[in-house]
Structure formats: structure tokens, C-alpha cells
Structure 1
Amino acid sequence: MWMTLHTDYALRTLFYVGLHSERRVSIHEVATAYGISENHLVKVIHRLGRGGFIQTVRGRGGGLTLARSPDDIRIGDVVRHTEEDMTLVACEPMDENGRACVLARQCRLRGLLGQAVGAFMAVLDDATLGSLLTEDDSIVLRRIFALAQVTEG
């Protein structure tokens, strides 16, 4: 399974915002922390906001906060919301020219791949943002972000 950069950036954004839950963080801050494009991140944040994962406040004193508790943000839900297509292969009974796949009647691969995606998502559904942001990990991650800012600044 291959996830898009959009999903990667969405998960990274949630990690960063979750680590700094005591305050609002800016898009610039998140982009700088990860070394990613602010323009691309704006699209990601817009989608996270529409999905109810983060709240955004515009203007002076604005920024990003989690829209709900980290324990209520399932990683599987985030992936489903940000990924456009979860299929592993373009396996269709008919191709774009209207020809039937010669394996369609006997092929069990499509069902097997569907089960594999289901198992993958079940693992992600068992994890929450809160379960990934344990207190010990949060301390280490905050240090990493602080070091990154010092080396760039």
C-alpha cells in the first residue's frame, strides 16, 4: 500500500499540533518543523479542518488546534479522509474499452487484495493520535523539533 504525500503531511500535521496542544500553532511553524511547502500544507490543513480533525482560527493570534481529543482521532479515519483511492491494483471486470477481463470469472485476487486493505485499515483503526503521542515520546519529539529549529535558525 502506498499513501500519498497529502496523507503523510496530514499525519505529520496532526502529530505536531497534538504535541503542542497547549497552544495554537501556525502553518508556517508546521511547515518549518518538517521542511515542507506551506502552499501544499494549506491544502492539507483545509482538508483536515473539513474532516473535523483540526480547528483553524484566522488572523492575529490564530492558528491550528486539534478539534477533538487525540484519543478520539483514529489514524484509520485520517487515512480514509485524505486518501482518494485505496485500491491496490486497478482490477476491474471491464477495461476502459469495454472488454471483459479474461480472469474475471475465476480470479480471486481482487477479493484477496480487498481483504489485505481491510486488514491494513484495521491496524490503523486500532491506533489513535493519543496512543502515538505518549508522554515519553512527546518529550523526545519536542526536543527533536527544538533542535531542528535551532539548526535552521
Structure 2
Amino acid sequence: MKLKTTSEYALRILSHMSLHEEDQHTAKGLSETLNIPYKYLTRIMTNLGKAGFISSTRGKNGGFIFAKPVEEITLYDILEVMNDLNDDVCIMGEGLCGQGEHCALHECWSKPKQLIDEMFKNSTLKDLHKKH
């Protein structure tokens, strides 16, 4: 399973922000720290803001902060906002799987896919930083 670049960036951004939850983060600072192109990052931040995960303030002292507690933001929620949870995409790259004929791996992939979805649903941003 491969996440879209946009989803990977969104997870990296929010994970980084959650490490420094009390701080206000600028787009420029996040772009430089995480090595994400500035324009790409700002589009992602817009989507994360619309989803209610973060809020922003403009101006000289502006930036981004969390709009809701990090323990309430699941990885599944983030991937859903980034449109990266298409259950019908074939793991073998044969387009959509599940409508009509199935690929050779469809049944074998079904259970691991469910387990991955459950892991995303049960993991929050806060969980990413727990020591094991």
C-alpha cells in the first residue's frame, strides 16, 4: 500500500506540529523544516483548515495552530480529507477492483486492508509520539 504524496506530506506536517503543539507554525517554517515545496504545503494547509484540524491567523505574528486536540485527530481522518482511502483501487494496479471481476490478489488483500484501515482509525496524532 502506497499513500499519495499529498497524504504523506499532510501526515508529516501534522505529526511535526503535534510534537510542538503549543507553538504557532508558519508555512515558511514548515516548508523549510520538512522540505515540502511552499505552494504545495499551503494547499495542504488550506485543506487541513477546511477539515477543522488546524486554524490560521494572518499577519506578522500569524501562523497555524491546532483547532482541535491532537488526540481527537485520527490518521484515518487525515487520509479521508486527503482522498486517500479508495477501497476499490486494485492493489495490482488494474484500476478498480470490486466491481465485477476481481484481480488475483483481491481476496488475499481484503483482510490486511481491513487491518490497516483499523490501525488508521485507532491511531491519533498523539499516538505517533508515544514511546513504546
**TM-score bracket for this pair, using the shorter chain length:** 0.7 to 0.9
Distance in 1, Cα, partners of 2:103 & 2:59: 56
Q: Does 1:68 align with 2:68?
A: yes
Identity %: 23
Report the counterpart of residue 126 of structure 2 in structure 1.
Answer: 130
**TM-score normalized with structure 2 length:** 0.81
Number of residue equivalences? 125
Report the counterpart of residue 52 of structure 1 in structure 2.
Answer: 52
Superposed counterparts of 1:3-152, under 5 Å: 3-84=3-84, 86=86, 87-89=88-90, 90-91=96-97, 92-93=99-100, 104=101, 110=106, 113-134=109-130
Q: Secondary structure at the match of 1:16?
A: helix
**TM-score normalized with structure 1 length:** 0.71
Greater C-alpha radius of gyration: 1
8 Å Cα contact 1:88/1:113 also seen in 2 = no
- Structure 1 residue runs of 5 or longer lacking an equivalent are 94-103, 138-153
Distance in 2, Cα, partners of 1:8 & 1:107: 27
- Structure 2 residue runs of 5 or longer lacking an equivalent are 91-95
- For the aligned residue pairs, the C-alpha RMSD in angstroms reads 2.4
Pair 1:107–1:79, CA change in 2 (3 A): closer
Aligned partner of 1:5: which letter? T
Pair 1:29–1:81, CA change in 2 (3 A): same
Distance in 2, Cα, partners of 1:7 & 1:64: 18
Determine which structure has the larger helix proportion and give its number.
1
Deviation at 1:61, TM superposition (A): 1.3
